[in-house]
Copies of this chain bind each other. A is one copy, B any other.
Amino acid sequence: MDMQATIESATTAVNPTKVAIMDAAEKAILKNGYKAMSFRDLAAEVGIKSASVHYHFPTKANLVTAVMQRYKEEFAKRLILPKKKKSAAQKALNKFIDGFKETVVDQDNLSLCTVLSAEKNLLEPATIEELNEFYQLKLDWLGTVVSYMRKDWMTTEEVHNYASRILASLHGASVLVKATGNPDMFNQATVHWRDLIKHLDS
């Protein structure tokens, strides 16, 4: 029987073909969306036949879930919590914004989550669950980092609001860039955070 691709990925040894398929799938989704991604196109990119893709990922739902799960895990791996110190938190948050810009905006993409959110009704519960976990991960991290930046105590509501604001800014800015085709739009929509990060401790 098949193992659940959605469960094994973190522990099992990597399979080169499987990884190549997931790479191609992620790329395809970012380019044209989930619905437009086809097994045959992925197979062609990897250099195998579409039936072989089904061997590794029985269904499309299975594949997109695996891709989303990997996306989440890779992100979590790079998302280390800074020291509970103002300057470290400031640095970490600046780096978070830089990372978003480099991996998403600079490549004229939206984030995988934004794309999948737009096609959420086509996804299965398992995929949606990965989506939720990914955002919760980001929001929790942002909340913690923001709280580290302030010497005074913040209510949980205040912390949540800051985290949501920052994440919304970044995602929205990437949509603006994509829609208008103007890369400057990202900085226009987010530079204020750079200043605010410096003065958020007050």
Contacts and interface: CB of A to CB of B under 8 A. Distances in A.
Contact of A168 (B36, B136, B189): B189
Interface residues of A, number: 45
**Copies, count:** 2
A119 B192 contact: no
A99 to B, nearest CB: 16
Nearest to A176: B168
A58 B73 CA distance: 45
Given A117-B110, A175-B114, A188-B161, A33 B31 contact: no
Interface of A: 31-36, 110, 113-122, 128, 131-132, 135-136, 160-161, 164-165, 167-173, 175-176, 178-181, 185, 188-192
